[in-house]
Amino acid sequence: MNGSDMISQLELGKPEKRPEKRVNGIFWIILLNLGIYVADHWFQVRGIKTLYLYHNWPAWFQFVTAAFCHAKWNHLSSNLFFLYIFGKLVEEEEGNFALWLSYIFTGAGANLVSWLVLPRNAVSVGASGAVFGLFAISVLVKMSWDWRKILEVLILGQFVIEKVMEAAQASTGLSGFSSGGYALQSVNHIAHLSGALIGVFLVWLLSRVPSQPPDQEVSTLQRKTVKDP
């Protein structure tokens, strides 16, 4: 075996470097949440409040748009922090489309459950349902039975629940919002729980979709034969 053949063999044994995945979707989601908040609370754009979910007579799009609206800065800043962490994990693992699908599906699903359960004079806003959904998805797609991973999930999970609840409690009431006797929900536990459960359901549903068979073609490098010295 000459030197060049030996080098070729060594190169075949090297693990291929995985291409670095660019993360863009989560930043657009964060910017969209920020932009709607600024337009609503800083510039007082009149049409923004039509994006809230009014439980007495909701428009179909409000189940989605309410997941991008927030009543107070405390709630928004907390949600953005966890959106970045868990949204980035989901996007790195599953891609941009899966991130948007997960956010919209869990956020709209949590709002739908809230509308079915909460009083008719309630108004729902906030990304908390999507936050819990992305948290559940990010855990499940990386879950293993390693005790260290389980401990990590338990520690991170209780922290997420505690902080999101605190932020939601801090956003009680909507300053200057009085229209027809509507009441903003202070802490929507229904949205939190349903967002997480919908995230679990989404992962289970996608896991039932059969994956494409792996490519059976042999790469050109693997076709090389070793020459006798």
Phi and psi at residue 106, in whole multiples of 5°?
A: -75, -40
Q: How far is it, in rounded angstroms, from Cα 131 to Cα 102?
A: 10
Task: Tell me which of 128, 138, 171, 194 is the catalytic residue.
Answer: 128
Q: How far is it, in rounded angstroms, from Cα 141 to Cα 90?
A: 8
Q: What domains lie within the chain, and their CATH numbers?
A: 23-207 (1.20.1540.10)
Q: Based on the residue annotation, tell me whether 194 is a catalytic residue of this protein.
A: no
Q: How far is it, in rounded angstroms, from Cα 153 to Cα 146?
A: 11
Task: Tell me which of 41, 70, 75, 192 is the catalytic residue.
Answer: 192
| Beta strands across the sheet bearing 53-54 | 53-54, 122-124, 183-184
Helix (H, G, I), strand (E, B) or coil at 212: coil
Residue 181 tokens read as 């006797």
Q: How far is it, in rounded angstroms, from Cα 64 to Cα 57?
A: 15
Per-residue pLDDT of the chain (229 residues), as tens digits, is 555 555 555 455 555 555 556 779 999 999 999 999 999 999 999 899 999 999 999 999 999 999 999 988 988 998 999 899 899 989 998 999 999 999 999 999 999 999 998 888 889 999 989 998 998 898 888 766 676 777 776 777 677 667 656 655 544 443 334 444 555 555 566 777 778 888 888 888 877 766 554 444 334 434 444 444 4
Q: How far is it, in rounded angstroms, from Cα 116 to Cα 39?
A: 29
Q: Based on the residue annotation, tell me whether 41 is a catalytic residue of this protein.
A: no
Q: Interior CA angle at 78 toward 73 and 81, to 5°?
A: 125
Contact status, residue 78 vs residue 165, Cβ threshold 8 Å: no
Q: How far is it, in rounded angstroms, from Cα 97 to Cα 143?
A: 21
Instruction: Give residue for tokens 């053949």.
Output: 5
Instruction: Give residue for tokens 């200057």.
Output: 176
* The model's pTM: 0.72
Which pLDDT value is given to residue 176?
A: 38
